[in-house]
Amino acid sequence: MFAYLKGRPIPYAFSSVYGFVFAMFFLIYGGVKVILSFMDHNYATLRDPILFTIVGGVLVVFAMAFRDLKNWGRMGLIVLNSLVIIASLFGITRPENVALLILSGGALYGLFAPATKECLAGRS
């Protein structure tokens, strides 16, 4: 599954895997909530799960573009991780926000690392 990471720098690998994992959380959460809403015949609360599913799909596109060494995929992941860091700072007292802050900070470092930039430029 992660054969594309062979020979890639560690910061690139961490940022890529974190991008896929973060996108999958959105897709799984949104998909399960949509299915449960249909099963409960509760269509009034369907807007948020569909939004989560769409956002998860967009995040998968960014992660796949980054995997394929596209610069716009890197920019999308930079924006994503920056927004997660900003949102986590608002609730810094909660432990899950601190964990998200640390993970997104590490992924953001990986996206700005010189090894990742060289890998995207094709010199690695």
φ and ψ of 31, to 5 deg: -65, -45
Instruction: Give the number of other CB atoms < 10 A from CB of residue 28.
Output: 13
DSSP H helix total and E strand total for the chain:
5, 0
Which residues does 108 contact at the CB level (< 8 Å), separation at least 6?
A: 78, 81, 82, 85
**Which tokens sit at 81?**
């991780």
Report pLDDT for 57. Answer: 92
pTM, full prediction = 0.83
What span, in angstroms and rounded, lies between the C-alpha atoms of 102 and 57? Answer: 24
Report pLDDT for 1. Answer: 58
Report pLDDT for 2. Answer: 67
Does residue 45 sit in helix, strand or coil? coil
Report pLDDT for 47. Answer: 85
CA angle 10-13-16, nearest 5°? 150
Low-confidence residues of the chain: pLDDT under 50: 124
Ordered by start, the domain boundaries in the chain are 10-121
